[in-house]
């Protein structure tokens, strides 16, 4: 678990999951390799508000029964995670057979290899279905900021207590965010993660606006050309 344990990455995955309309559940796999499983689980719970977090070991078949709560007839789930976290091992355990190839995590840099290279919909004995996805080295945000607001609900709530509604949470007086950072109730790294993702969403929104504007410009250019062509026909 320690090899791929990264709270900032968890926040990013949660933001994308909420934005998609899915209900996220966090699985901390390879618990048998981590002597601090409960401590790691508590850390994740502290930033994953309203999300269920479970520690398990697919390779040792420990804690796998909890997945029956989420995967059953009529339900489709998707496993997302970095390469090497054990998604294929989890699915093999659910299937009861070694259907998916599993590679070891590289000791150099603790990076997993991309065992799964394409998306596949798999029917499980329980009647549920699971989508196996390739391991991700980088996860880009998409959509609007609703998913971001759910992941960082604590920061959004704090911001409501700032003196100014348009507070940038920098040097403004009576900034609730800065006050929380100074008294230790808000972790600086969490706030940095929030700002980074918020910036990415803003960039995406600008790109989409520019694209829509370009499409509209082309549309009106065609209309204008069509009008000119009609005038030429009338003169003939």
pLDDT single digits (tens) 38-85? 999 999 999 998 899 999 999 999 999 999 999 989 889 988 888 888
Average pLDDT taken over every residue of the chain:
80
For the record, the structure tokens of 159 come out as: 């911001």
Q: Cα 215 to chain center, whole Å? A: 29
Q: How far apart are CA 230 and CA 152, in angstroms?
A: 56
Q: Is the pLDDT of residue 207 over 80?
A: no
Q: Which CATH class is domain 2-132?
A: alpha beta
The pLDDT, as a whole number, for residue 213 is 59
Q: How far apart are CA 178 and CA 187, in angstroms?
A: 11
The pLDDT, as a whole number, for residue 148 is 81
Cα 15 to Cα 132, 159, 219: the distances in Å are 20, 19, 34
Q: Which of 191, 9, 162 is nearest to 84 (CA)?
A: 9
- Greater confidence, 186 or 21? 186
Cα 125 to Cα 70, 75, 93, 130: the distances in Å are 14, 12, 11, 11
For the record, the structure tokens of 30 come out as: 């390879």
Helical (H) or strand (E) element with 25: strand 25-28
Q: Which DSSP string corresponds to 198-222?
A: HHHHHHHHHHHHHHHHHHHHHHHHH
Beta bridge partners of 121: 131
Cα 156 to Cα 23, 28, 152, 167, 177: the distances in Å are 20, 27, 6, 12, 9
Helical (H) or strand (E) element with 26: strand 25-28
Q: Report the share of the chain in percent with pLDDT over 70.
A: 70
Rounded to two decimals, the pTM is 0.66
The pLDDT, as a whole number, for residue 235 is 60
- Greater confidence, 43 or 18? 43
Q: What stretches of the chain show up as alpha helix (H) in DSSP?
A: 7-20, 37-45, 87-95, 146-151, 153-159, 176-183, 188-235
Q: Among the listed ranges 140-154, 165-179, 220-234, which one has the minimum average pLDDT value?
A: 220-234
pLDDT band at 100 (very low <50, low <70, confident <90, very high): low
For the record, the structure tokens of 181 come out as: 């950072």
- Give the model confidence (pLDDT) of 135-171 as tens digits: 555 555 555 567 788 889 899 999 999 999 889 898 8
The domain locations on the chain are 2-132
User: Stretch 82-104: mean pLDDT, rounded?
Assistant: 78
The pLDDT, as a whole number, for residue 131 is 86
């Amino acid at each position: 678990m320690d090899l791929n344990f990264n709270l900032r990455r968890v926040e990013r995955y949660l933001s994308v999951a909420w934005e998609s309309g899915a209900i996220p559940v966090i699985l901390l796999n390879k618990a048998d390799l981590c002597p601090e499983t409960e401590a790691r689980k508590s850390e994740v719970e502290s930033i994953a508000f309203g999300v269920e977090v479970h520690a398990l070991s697919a390779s040792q078949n420990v804690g796998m029964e909890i997945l029956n709560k989420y995967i059953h007839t009529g339900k489709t789930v998707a496993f997302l995670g970095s390469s090497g976290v054990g998604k294929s091992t989890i699915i093999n355990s659910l299937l009861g057979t070694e259907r998916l190839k599993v590679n070891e995590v590289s000791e150099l840099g603790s990076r997993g290899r991309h065992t799964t290279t394409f998306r596949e919909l798999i029917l499980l004995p329980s009647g549920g279905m699971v989508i196996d996805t390739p391991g991700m080295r980088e996860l880009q945000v998409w959509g609007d900021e609703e998913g971001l607001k759910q992941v960082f609900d604590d920061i959004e709530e704090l911001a409501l207590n700032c003196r100014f509604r348009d507070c940038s949470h920098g040097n403004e007086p009576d900034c609730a965010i800065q006050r929380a950072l100074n008294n230790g109730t808000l972790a600086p790294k969490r706030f940095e993660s929030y700002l980074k993702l918020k910036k990415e969403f803003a960039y995406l929104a600008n790109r989409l606006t520019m694209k829509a504007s370009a499409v509209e410009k082309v549309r009106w250019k065609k209309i204008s050309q069509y009008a000119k062509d009609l005038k030429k026909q009338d003169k003939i």
